[in-house]
Amino acid sequence: MSLIKQLWMAIALVMTLAFGVSMVVSVLSARHYLEQQLQLKNIDNATALALSLTQLPKDEVTVELQVAAQFDAGHYRFIRITSPKGKVLIERVAASQALGAPAWFVRLIPIHAEPGQALVQDGWIQYGTLSLASQDVYAYKSLWDGMLELLISFVLGSLLTGAVGTQLMRYITRPLSEVVNQAHAITERRFVTIEVPGTPELKSVASAMNDMVGRLKAMFNEEAARLDALRKKVNRDAVTGLSSREYFLSHLREALQGDQFGSSGSLVMVRLLDLNELNARLGRQKADALLKDVGTELYASGHGRMGQRAGRVKGAEFAIVCPSFETAQDAAIDIFERLNQNVLPKWFDQVPDLFHVSAVRYHRDQNMGELLSSVDEALAQAANKGANTWHAVEDGRNKVAVPAEQWRTLLTEAVSGGRLALSFFPVMSGDGASPLHSEGVIRLQTDVPGTLMTAGDFMPMAAQLNLTAPIDLGVVKLAIEHLRTSLGDIAVNLSAETIADFHFRNELTQLLKAYPEVCKRLLFEVPEYGVFRQFDAFCDLARNLKQLGCRVGIEYFGQRFAESDKLADLGLDYIKVHPSYISDLASNPGNQEFLKGLCNMAHALGITVLALGVRDKADLPLLALLGFDGATGPGIR
């Protein structure tokens, strides 16, 4: 029971006790007063009547008439005259009357007033003893009415006091509510601070809670900074800041074999003069400065282009994965112009024959060795053209470009015509023995029967046409329909463009409220680049989804690890680590150390850690040893 309820119960108990005591004291005091008044009235009336009878002749008729007149004129229970020998001479008794109060009240609080007595004389001789008792019905009625008035006034006073007290209680306990909300947030893995209240009793509690949250955030930030430094040391080239050869090849392999990007893209290669020759011409320091300038420009080429990544593959050779360019020529020209305009002028006097650029198209499931050989051959052709030149080779399997309006028609009809589908892939526990949930991946049915397009094939165009919201909403509806007819949990992906759409978030909330029974079995995940690109929108979405009972996670986690300190306030349920960290993990002790630290940090926040892109079940024991709670990928499907 909450403290507020206990406080209200205590107040109600005290008020009830106070009312009960005041009621008893008031009723007893009133009864005592009424008894005294009845007693005095009985005595006065008996004395007056006895005096009147003493002065009259004592014949029976005269005395009886006087007694009857007095009885009829007043309100008496009885008037009685008895002789000195105890014989009743005259008696008048009132008929039974309504008590004026409930019988139980009369039995509970009886009024005892002694009858009044006086002597009636006949000259010097005692004629008899007069006894009379006034009617007590009116006393009971007065006592009962007084108690009712007291009860009504107490009820009205309690209601008024309760209304005023409620407002005061809300004002007084508002700091307590903030402390309670902070405690709830911590249990939900959201580490938030609150304003310290002025109430002394709560001030120390709030300060202690804020200090604890601050220390947890500081520890999280320190560990995140340490792991980010380790990640950069392991996966980045020390001179250029670009991806190391192993990390770049892992990313290229994911582009060729994964579903994150489109079914085709471009691979660009940049080759400078031989590194030994550069060192001989410029000296080591200037040669490193040249490599740094080239690396900075190649890194900048990926800004705003999802999936584009540059790496130093060896010596003075660099490679760039470009999933978003339509042709290899476009990719080659973009890189060439950047180097030609921003790097070559600075170094032209010392190294006039600075670079060659080549680009080739790749397609999904292409052999990576063959792709690297193709780009090397294209690079040789660029070198044959002379200094600072480029050459591109297009793949004959490239699809004919589809106009934007045709894409719009295709995607709109797909949503309205039921051509969207979900393909389900299991996410297994760390030992690979039991499923944690299924990942529902969107597919689009083409005009060719049995042919399905992956999300990477059409979602980039959907983003350009602002159609991701209806597509994602259609995916959620498909997941709900599947959950209503099957067992297990399902995770669905939301795109970065969708979570920024306020109208979509409202529609999604209303949709989920209609199916509360499936919310606990529904998981939502957003790619990491989308989380940090639309961070405020993601925070709002995560809060709404968790209030409905859904779970929230981040997919492809680890590319922007330096910003992960923002995640301490979100209450995430799980993260899926990017496949580039998982690939060839057994032979990469640096990534093993990084991932072990990542798992420890996530577990300290109550976050489940899953591995993406696992290609061999033999990797599961190592992943479990590092702390992973589960895994998914082509190796365990």
CA-angle at 566, arms to 565 and 568, nearest 5°? 75
Domain 404-636 has CATH 3.30.565.10: no
Q: DSSP for 298-350?
A: HHHTTTT-TT-EEEEEETTEEEEEETT-SSHHHHHHHHHHHHHHHTHHHHTTT
Q: pLDDT band at residue 558, thresholds of 50, 70 and 90?
A: confident
Would strands 355-363 and 389-393 be described as parallel, antiparallel, or unpaired?
parallel
Instruction: State pLDDT tens for residues 508-544.
Output: 999 999 999 999 999 999 988 888 888 889 989 998 9
Average pLDDT value for residue range 403-424: 81
Phi, psi torsion values for 191, nearest 5 degrees: -100, 95
Residue 299 has a pLDDT of 93
Average pLDDT value for residue range 67-75: 85
Contacts 24+ apart (CB under 8 A), 283-291: 286/350, 288/239, 290/347, 290/351, 291/239, 291/240, 291/316
Q: Is the pLDDT of residue 152 over 70?
A: yes
Residue 363 has a pLDDT of 87
Q: Is the pLDDT of residue 449 over 70?
A: no
Residue 215 has a pLDDT of 80
Residue 447 has a pLDDT of 67
Instruction: State pLDDT tens for residues 453-478.
Output: 888 778 877 887 888 899 999 999 99
Average pLDDT value for residue range 386-395: 88
Beta carbons of 449 and 458 less than 8 angstroms apart: no
Q: Is the pLDDT of residue 400 over 60?
A: no
Q: Is the pLDDT of residue 44 over 70?
A: yes
Of the listed ranges 195-204, 512-521, 598-607, the least confidently predicted one is: 195-204
Phi, psi torsion values for 93, nearest 5 degrees: -125, 130
Residue 386 has a pLDDT of 84
Beta bridge partners of 453: 444
Average pLDDT value for residue range 559-577: 78
Of the listed ranges 160-169, 276-285, 291-300, the least confidently predicted one is: 160-169
Q: pLDDT band at residue 580, thresholds of 50, 70 and 90?
A: confident
CA-angle at 314, arms to 311 and 318, nearest 5°? 40
Contacts 24+ apart (CB under 8 A), 442-446: 442/471, 442/475, 442/493, 444/411, 444/414, 444/419, 444/420, 445/414, 445/419, 445/420, 445/421
Quote the tokens at residue 146. Answer: 């007084």
Average pLDDT value for residue range 305-314: 89
Of the listed ranges 76-80, 219-223, 273-277, 279-283, the least confidently predicted one is: 219-223
Average pLDDT value for residue range 414-442: 87
Q: pLDDT band at residue 95, thresholds of 50, 70 and 90?
A: confident
Beta carbons of 545 and 164 less than 8 angstroms apart: no
- Distance between terminal CA atoms of the chain? 48
Q: Is the pLDDT of residue 399 over 60?
A: no
pTM here is 0.69
Residue 562 has a pLDDT of 65
Decide which of 285 and 432 is more confident: 285
Q: Is the pLDDT of residue 99 over 70?
A: no
Average pLDDT value for residue range 1-30: 82
Average pLDDT value for residue range 87-94: 88
Q: pLDDT band at residue 404, thresholds of 50, 70 and 90?
A: low
Of the listed ranges 120-124, 370-374, 618-622, the least confidently predicted one is: 120-124
Q: pLDDT band at residue 129, thresholds of 50, 70 and 90?
A: very high
What is the third-level CATH fold of 234-393? Alpha-Beta Plaits (3.30.70)
Quote the tokens at residue 33. Answer: 């007063």
% of the chain at pLDDT higher than 70:
95
Instruction: Describe the crossing of helices 3-54 and 60-73 by its angle, rounded to 10 degrees.
Output: 150
Q: Is the pLDDT of residue 397 over 60?
A: no
d(CA 479, CA 539): 23
- Strand, coil or helix: what is 402? coil
Decide which of 99 and 397 is more confident: 99
Of the listed ranges 363-367, 403-407, 432-436, 586-590, the least confidently predicted one is: 403-407
Q: Is the pLDDT of residue 450 over 70?
A: no
Q: Is the pLDDT of residue 93 over 70?
A: yes
Average pLDDT value for residue range 337-351: 92
Average pLDDT value for residue range 381-388: 88
Of the listed ranges 131-135, 146-150, 199-203, 206-210, the least confidently predicted one is: 199-203
Residue 150 has a pLDDT of 86
Q: pLDDT band at residue 622, thresholds of 50, 70 and 90?
A: very high
Look up residue 584 and give its DSSP letter.
T
Residue 401 has a pLDDT of 53
Q: Where are the domains of the chain?
A: 25-157, 234-393, 404-636
